[in-house]
Structure 1
Amino acid sequence: MTRTPTVLATSGGFAYDARGNFRPTALAQLALRLTGADRPKLCFLATASGDSVLYVQRTYAAFAGWSVDVSHLSLFSMPNVDDLRAHVLAQDVLWVGGGSVAGLLAMWRLHGLDDVMREAWAAGVVLAGVSAGSICWHVGGPTDSFGPELRAVTDGLALLPYGNGVHYDSEEQRRPVLHRMVASGELPASLATDDGAGVLYRGTEPAGVYAERDDAQGYLVEASGGEAKETVLPTERL
Structure 2
Amino acid sequence: MKKQVLAYGSGRHRLPFLRYVAKMTGKKNPNICFVPTASGDDKEYIISFYEVCKQLPVLPHVLTVWINSYDQKQTFQEIISKMDAVVVGGGNTLNMLAIWKAQGIDVLLKEAYQRGCVMAGGSAGSLCWFNGGTTDSRPAELSIVNGLGLLDQSHCPHYNSETTRRPLYHHNILTGALTDGYACDDQAAIHFVDGKVQQSISLNSENNAYHVYADGDVVKEEKIPSVILR
TM-score, structure 2 as length reference: 0.93
- Cα distance in 1, alignment partners of residues 43 and 213 from structure 2: 39
Q: Select 1:100's aligned residue among 89, 92, 107.
A: 92
**Which residue of structure 1 lines up, in the alignment, with residue 110 of structure 2?**
118
Q: Select 2:138's aligned residue among 132, 137, 146.
A: 146
Q: Does 1:198 align with 2:189?
A: yes
**Which residue of structure 2 lines up, in the alignment, with residue 31 of structure 1?**
21
Structure 2, gaps ≥5 residues long: none
- Displacement, 1:65? 5.0
**Which residue of structure 2 lines up, in the alignment, with residue 19 of structure 1?**
none
- Cα distance in 2, alignment partners of residues 31 and 64 from structure 1: 15
- Cα distance in 1, alignment partners of residues 139 and 211 from structure 2: 26
What is the root-mean-square deviation in Å for CA atoms of aligned residues? Answer: 1.6
- Cα distance in 2, alignment partners of residues 177 and 81 from structure 1: 44
Q: Does 1:11 align with 2:2?
A: no
Q: Does 1:44 align with 2:42?
A: no
Does the aligned pair in 1 maintain the 2:12–2:89 contact within 8 Å? Answer: no
Paired residues, number: 227
CA deviations on 1:102-128 (whole Å, 9 max, x unpaired) are 111101101111111111001110000
> Equivalent residue of 2:131, what SS?
coil
Matches within 5 A, 1:1-238: 3-12=1-10, 14=12, 24-64=14-54, 66-78=56-68, 80=72, 82-147=74-139, 149-153=141-145, 155-238=146-229
Structure 1, gaps ≥5 residues long: 16-23
> What code does the residue aligned with 1:71 have?
H
**Which residue of structure 2 lines up, in the alignment, with residue 21 of structure 1?**
none
TM-score, structure 1 as length reference: 0.90
Cα 1:184–1:81 change in 2 (3 A) is: farther
